[in-house]
Amino acid sequence: MEEVQRRALRRGRARLVAALRVAPLWDPLEERGLFTRPMVEELQSAGSRGEQARQLVIDLETRGKRAFPIFLSILRDTGQGDLADMLIEECECPPPPLQLVDLRPVELEKHSKNVNFPERLSIPVQAESERPRTPPAPARGEPRPRLFQRGSAVDKRNRDLVYELKADPCGCCLILNNVNFSSDSAMSTREGSDVDCKKLEKRFKALRFDVLTRRDLKAQEMVSELQKLARRDHSALDCCIVVILSHGCQTSHIQFPGGIYGTDGKPIPIEKIVNYFNGSNCPSLRGKPKLFFIQACGGEQRDRGFVVDCDSPGDKAPGASLESDATPLQTPLGNVDEPDAIASLPTPSDILVSYSTFPGFVSWREASSGSWYVETLDSVLEQHAHSEDLLNMLLRVANAVSAKGRYKQIPGCFNFLRKKFFFACK
């Protein structure tokens, strides 16, 4: 397949995944020799319609010179001529323009009198925006930058070790921000949570996510929003993020500890939230990273830390403006979000849950600057998302938060990712 045809398939992939009707294609694709019957069956087993379309478009690039025109013909034969026209238009789009650069030998001319250089030599080069960028060498002690920059030459042997984020937007990000709680819940207003929310909205938009925020939801309303997101077709996307800012508690669990409160004071187990997005309940996210960031207490214990050789930074001690998101251990009331039975919980994969604090301990939040965890997470993402993988950045977050204040806090995560995760920075 010619490069211009491959480029057209890549540019048109999002629309093809969203609109392609794959069912009428299987027989013609086999009859016209593009795919064998086992290949067709493998494509059909890819998952949802969107996943099948996505894999078909990817595999077409490997099917030889005749694949592109035959695919266009099959599209027209099956009443999908608009998609064929779209691909032809993409083929006709010119490649990125070349630039001319001026090469004037200066230093060399001083030392080479016998060499005659032209007054101006212009050669075509790639446009700056299209040229692979080689990151500067890191300072001593700094981690090496990522080797998988979008558009750069990479070691193909290592590609399977990194999640690919090619879509734009690369995924959905749902932020549930509970600030005001009902009087019946006996829970305090979470001053500073709006500061956290605005920071994360801005940060994940900059990281090419489609961000949706919901504020002050009861437990069942939170469940509805989470289920609505899980039921969406994510076939054309590469990732999904859920952020929850609320009061929290300890609760019975099998996989993921902790619970989150709705504004009505009813808890939702975190493992219930996570399992809405597992491979069984959300097929269009199978094999794709699902990231959860939880700013809430894991319990009521206050950690005073232990003595070390050097003092921690002089952050102010808990005072009037410093609050925790802790509430007592409770068992879910009635039939609201009871944990599933062990046998019905599939093994989680491609999931990471980042907690603001260790299970059982409080998570600190200030009215003016927001929570320690979100403030630090936002800062680390700003500085390092362009060069470091997520797990390395979460280590930075844990190290920075653990050094704060008289009371102590240590973020952590449950990691079931199979590959390294790098954000796609604008």
Kindly state whether residues 203 and 61 are assigned to the same domain: no
pLDDT of residue 171: 96
Query: How many domains, the chain?
Result: 2
Pairing between strand 290-295 and 239-245?
Answer: parallel
308 with 223, same domain: the answer is yes
Output the pLDDT for position 250.
Answer: 76
Strands, E assignment, 113-158: 121-126
Provide the pLDDT for residue 388: 95
* Residues identified as active-site: 247, 297
Rounded CA-CA distance 364/361 in Å is 10
- Only one residue has tokens 């540019």, namely 11
Do both 46 and 189 map to the same domain? no
Whether the per-residue pLDDT at 123 is higher than 70: the answer is: no
Q: Could you tell me if residue 141 is inside a domain?
A: no
**What is the model's pLDDT at position 65?**
82
Full-model pTM: 0.57
Are 181 and 81 part of one and the same domain?
no
Of 168, 200, 213, the residue nearest 385 (C-alpha) = 200
Tell me, yes or no, whether 67 and 204 share the same domain.
no
242 and 383 inside one domain = yes
Mean local confidence (pLDDT), 171-199 = 93
> Is the same domain home to 33 and 166?
no
Higher pLDDT: 138 or 372? It is: 372
How far is residue 287's CA from residue 180's CA, in Å, rounded to a whole number?
37
Q: Taking residues 122-150, report their average pLDDT.
A: 45
- Among the residue ranges 184-198, 323-337, 355-369, the one predicted with the least confidence is 323-337
Boundary residue ending a domain (92, 107, 131): 92
Give the residue from 92, 116, 147 where a domain finishes. Answer: 92
Instruction: Look at residue 311 and tell me whether its pLDDT is greater than 80.
Output: no
Same domain membership, residue 88 and residue 230: no
- Provide the CATH number for the domain around residue 340: 3.40.50.1460
Answer for the pair 251, 330: CB distance below 8 angstroms, yes or no: yes
Is the pLDDT higher at 297 or at 243? Answer: 243
Give the Cα separation of 116 and 99 in Å (integer): 25
175 domain residue, yes or no = yes
- Enter the tokens of residue 238: 């590469």
**180 and 62 in one domain?**
no
Residues 174 and 264 in one domain: yes
Residues with Cβ within 8 Å of 391's Cβ and at least 6 positions away in sequence, in order, are: 413, 415, 417, 420, 421
- Residue 22 phi, psi dihedral angles, 5° rounding: -85, -25
Percent of the chain with pLDDT over 90: 38
**What is the tens place of the pLDDT at every residue in 2-40?**
888 888 888 888 989 999 999 999 999 999 988 888 888
What pLDDT sits at residue 316? 44
Mean pLDDT (whole number) for 253-269: 88
> Is 108 within the bounds of a domain?
no
Interior/surface letters 46-63, b for 16+ CB within 10 angstroms, e for the rest: bbbbbbbbbbbbebbeeb
Instruction: Tell me the per-residue pLDDT of 202-250, one tens digit each, with 9 for 90 and over.
Output: 999 999 999 999 999 999 999 999 999 999 999 999 999 999 999 988 7
CATH code of 9's domain:
1.10.533.10
Euclidean distance between CA atoms 51 and 237, whole angstroms: 10
One domain, residues 204 and 339: yes
Instruction: Judge if the upstream peptide bond of residue 359 is cis by omega within 30 degrees of 0.
Output: no
Residue 162 pLDDT > 90: yes
State how far the Cα of 92 lies from the Cα of 325, in Å rounded to an integer: 57
Residue 125 lies in a domain: no
The Cα 238–Cα 386 span in angstroms is 18
In a domain, 132, yes or no: no
The residue range of the domain holding 262 is 161-416
Q: State the average pLDDT for the chain.
A: 77
Q: Which of 92, 116, 131 is the last residue of a domain?
A: 92
- For residues 212 and 314, membership in a common domain is answered with yes
Please say if the pLDDT value at position 410 is more than 70: yes
Q: Which of 158-167, 195-204, 341-350 has the lowest mean pLDDT?
A: 341-350
More confident residue, 92 or 362: 92
Q: Which of 289, 167, 177 is nearest to 240 (CA)?
A: 289
Q: Residue 333 above 50 pLDDT? A: no
